[in-house]
Amino acid sequence: MLFDMYKAYGVSAPENRYATGALPVPTVPETLAEACKIGVEAEIANRDLYDRTLLPAVKGYPDITLVMERLRDASEENHLPAFRRCANRG
């Protein structure tokens, strides 16, 4: 969805800084339970990033706001519960 927005507004997508080596690749957790706990933390941070930073920054653009809300909702309603279920199994 974001790539479609970039294209619609004639903006280049930012580079993947992990792929270029500009950011270090995180180490792989030792257990699935640990990975799931990291996933829970990441999805909460992702949701908060949308709510606190990204959505306020695009409030004048209804089409971008809709995309950002859908992505935030996917984190909160789909990804976060899945990671929580996984973390609770361990």
Boundaries of domain holding 39: 26-89
90 pLDDT exceeds 80? no
16 belongs to a structural domain? no
62 belongs to a structural domain? yes
Q: Are 13 and 6 in contact (CB under 8 A)?
A: yes
10 pLDDT exceeds 80? yes
Write out pLDDT tens, residues 39-70.
Answer: 999 999 999 999 999 999 999 999 999 999 99
Q: Are 90 and 31 in contact (CB under 8 A)?
A: yes
Rounded to the nearest integer, the mean pLDDT of the chain is 94
Question: For residue 43, which of 16, 82, 1 has the smallest C-alpha distance?
Answer: 82
What's this model's pTM, rounded to 2 decimal places? 0.83
| Residue 14: burial class (beta carbons within 10 Å; 0-12, 13-18, 19+) | exposed
60 belongs to a structural domain? yes
What residue spans of the chain are helical by DSSP H? 2-8, 32-49, 55-57, 62-74, 80-89
51 belongs to a structural domain? yes
What is the number of structural domains in the chain? 1
